[in-house]
Chains A and B, each alone.
Chain A
Amino acid sequence: MKMIYFDNGATTFPKPMSVINSVTNAVKYFGANPGRGGHKLAIKASEMVFNARATVADFFGVDNPEKVIFTLNCTTALNTVIKGLLKPGDHVIISSYEHNAVVRPLEKLKERGITYTVADVIEKNNDKTLENFRNAIQDNTKLMICTYASNVFGIKLPVERLCALCHQYNILCCVDAAQGAGVIPINLSNSSIDYLCIAGHKGLYGLMGVGAIIVNCDIIPDSLIEGGTGSNSINYVQPEILPDKFESGTNNFAGIISLNAGIKFLKARNIVNIYKREIELISYLYKKLDRINSVVLYTDMPDADYYVPLLSFNIKGRDSESVSEILSTRFNIATRGGLHCAPLAHKFHNTTKDGAVRVVPSVFTTKKDIDMLIYAVRNIK
């Protein structure tokens, strides 16, 4: 039985053939260390990394590729922004849908006298959400962090309005776009987002092990780690120039090349068309699951205005991990059960006890795949 993969929220699979080929070629023919040596292969590798940087910059509407900082993943990107900006006495506002990639660094920073407030997101009521964030602002609020969309419930946040609100109070804005990048068009050229953190291996279809911070303001955080950058190497002190300040040590060359190919794949297929199609698939799934008595759904029916293509559900009286396991073992369907590293979101929806089964389509998902899932859910007793 062919496996049907719906765990695209964790990482997209399969990867496009163009991505696979780009990695094979990069490793086979151009595998020198970029930005270090001066020989032809090293210069060629540097050029390939730069081209990837330029592709990311262009995709997110940034004029200068130096503002694209490659990281190991979105978590490292978020940690870099959070720990590089905040000082003892600072206050942070986060949303009720934040991932542990945001919550855990902030919990750690409590040891240094940094505090945070959780502002509740109200589904399909952006005005109320904005009011909750406004009420959370304090005199010492330095940073607002919010996810572009919940990785558990697919609910989109009014990111631009939140960032515009924060700028009125001189509060910096960092957006966790792990679930948004590559799924929703994000253009920073006319955006109030100051730091956009992305994962390369989810909606952008690159390999695991690559992410990025895209800096969209003049305030540059302190570096999280220091080391060799291939530049100004006689100096013991970390260079201040971007992206070198944040890219100590050898980058994930293959991952970066794959990200370039992944974005080109998306551009060729048109991200808006992909989004529309995936929302249609998820809405179809919602309607069908809503008719099954044993199924619990946690949101209104997803639409393009308020949701990304993601649906979480459960079966009454069951733990989500057991449902996910049955789907895998009996029907060869890959979903993600549990808490999705986002206990804050589950607490907000009262789903901490049983978690939820998450379904995320990709560009390769078909209506037949969705029908198979519906059939499987109907047959779980």
Chain B
Amino acid sequence: MEKFIKLSSTTEAMRAKNILRKYGIFSKVKKTTAGNSTSGCSFGIVISENNDKAIKILKEHGITPFGQASGDENDIF
């Protein structure tokens, strides 16, 4: 199932995508469709596998996700 990982900026999302690619995890940068009432415009990445591993890798590279959501992101917060 696809997971959305919310990040602080488009730059961070691009960086996260590149870092994960080096570990063989492919992702797509996407703008959030949920949570605008709490944070406004924000970006993240969508991955389809290895969600926990991806989060761990990102944290090791100093990237702390704001939250995760499944499917259409409606349960992001």
On A, residues with C-beta under 8 Å from B are 34-38, 42-43, 46-47, 50, 53-54, 64-66, 229-235, 239, 241-244
How many residues on chain B are close to A (CB under 8 Å)? Answer: 22
**7 additional contacts (CB under 8 A) given A65-B14, A230-B9, A231-B10:** A42-B31, A43-B29, A46-B43, A54-B18, A231-B8, A233-B40, A234-B39
Segment 10-43 of B: residues with Cβ below 8 Å from A: 10-12, 14-15, 18, 29-33, 36-43
Closest Cβ neighbor of A37 among chain B residues: B31
CB neighbours (8 Å) of B39 from chain A are: 232-235
B29 touches A66 (CB 8 A): no
* CB<8 Å pairs between A and B, sample of 16: A38-B30, A38-B32, A38-B33, A53-B11, A54-B18, A64-B15, A230-B9, A231-B9, A231-B10, A232-B40, A232-B42, A233-B39, A234-B38, A235-B40, A241-B12, A244-B11
C-alpha gap A37/B43 in the complex (Å): 10
Closest Cβ neighbor of A38 among chain B residues: B31
CB neighbours (8 Å) of A233 from chain B are: 39-42
C-alpha gap A121/B30 in the complex (Å): 51
C-alpha gap A229/B9 in the complex (Å): 9
B41 touches A230 (CB 8 A): yes
With both chains docked as a complex, state the minimum distance between the C-beta of A116 and any C-beta of chain B, in angstroms: 34
With both chains docked as a complex, state the minimum distance between the C-beta of A168 and any C-beta of chain B, in angstroms: 29
B30 touches A66 (CB 8 A): no
Q: DSSP majority for the A interface? A: loop
C-alpha gap A106/B11 in the complex (Å): 32
With both chains docked as a complex, state the minimum distance between the C-beta of A36 and any C-beta of chain B, in angstroms: 7
B37 touches A234 (CB 8 A): yes
With both chains docked as a complex, state the minimum distance between the C-beta of A81 and any C-beta of chain B, in angstroms: 20
B31 touches A50 (CB 8 A): no
A43 touches B30 (CB 8 A): yes
Contact flags (1/0) for B40-51 with A, using CB distance below 8 Å?
111100000000
7 nearest A-B pairs in the assembled complex, by CB-CB distance: A38-B31, A233-B40, A234-B40, A50-B14, A233-B41, A35-B10, A231-B9
C-alpha gap A243/B41 in the complex (Å): 16
B8 touches A239 (CB 8 A): yes
C-alpha gap A243/B29 in the complex (Å): 17
C-alpha gap A233/B32 in the complex (Å): 12
B11 touches A35 (CB 8 A): yes
A241 touches B30 (CB 8 A): no
Closest Cβ neighbor of A234 among chain B residues: B40
With both chains docked as a complex, state the minimum distance between the C-beta of A91 and any C-beta of chain B, in angstroms: 34
CB neighbours (8 Å) of A242 from chain B are: 11
With both chains docked as a complex, state the minimum distance between the C-beta of B42 and any C-beta of chain A, in angstroms: 6
CB neighbours (8 Å) of B10 from chain A are: 34-35, 46, 50, 230-231
Closest Cβ neighbor of A235 among chain B residues: B40
B18 touches A241 (CB 8 A): no
Closest Cβ neighbor of A57 among chain B residues: B15
With both chains docked as a complex, state the minimum distance between the C-beta of A128 and any C-beta of chain B, in angstroms: 42
CB neighbours (8 Å) of B18 from chain A are: 50, 54
B41 touches A232 (CB 8 A): yes
Contact flags (1/0) for B51-75 with A, using CB distance below 8 Å?
0000000000010000000000000
CB neighbours (8 Å) of B41 from chain A are: 36, 230-233
C-alpha gap A42/B40 in the complex (Å): 17
With both chains docked as a complex, state the minimum distance between the C-beta of B16 and any C-beta of chain A, in angstroms: 11
With both chains docked as a complex, state the minimum distance between the C-beta of B26 and any C-beta of chain A, in angstroms: 14
A241 touches B31 (CB 8 A): no
With both chains docked as a complex, state the minimum distance between the C-beta of B58 and any C-beta of chain A, in angstroms: 13
CB neighbours (8 Å) of B9 from chain A are: 35, 229-231, 239, 241, 244
- Chain B CB within 10 A, most for which of A53, A65, A234: A234
CB neighbours (8 Å) of A35 from chain B are: 9-11, 43
C-alpha gap A60/B21 in the complex (Å): 23
CB neighbours (8 Å) of B43 from chain A are: 35, 38, 46, 231
CB neighbours (8 Å) of A46 from chain B are: 10, 14, 29, 43
A243 touches B11 (CB 8 A): yes
CB neighbours (8 Å) of A241 from chain B are: 8-9, 12
With both chains docked as a complex, state the minimum distance between the C-beta of B36 and any C-beta of chain A, in angstroms: 7
CB neighbours (8 Å) of B30 from chain A are: 38, 43
A47, A54, A64, A235: the one contacting B29 at CB < 8 Å is A47
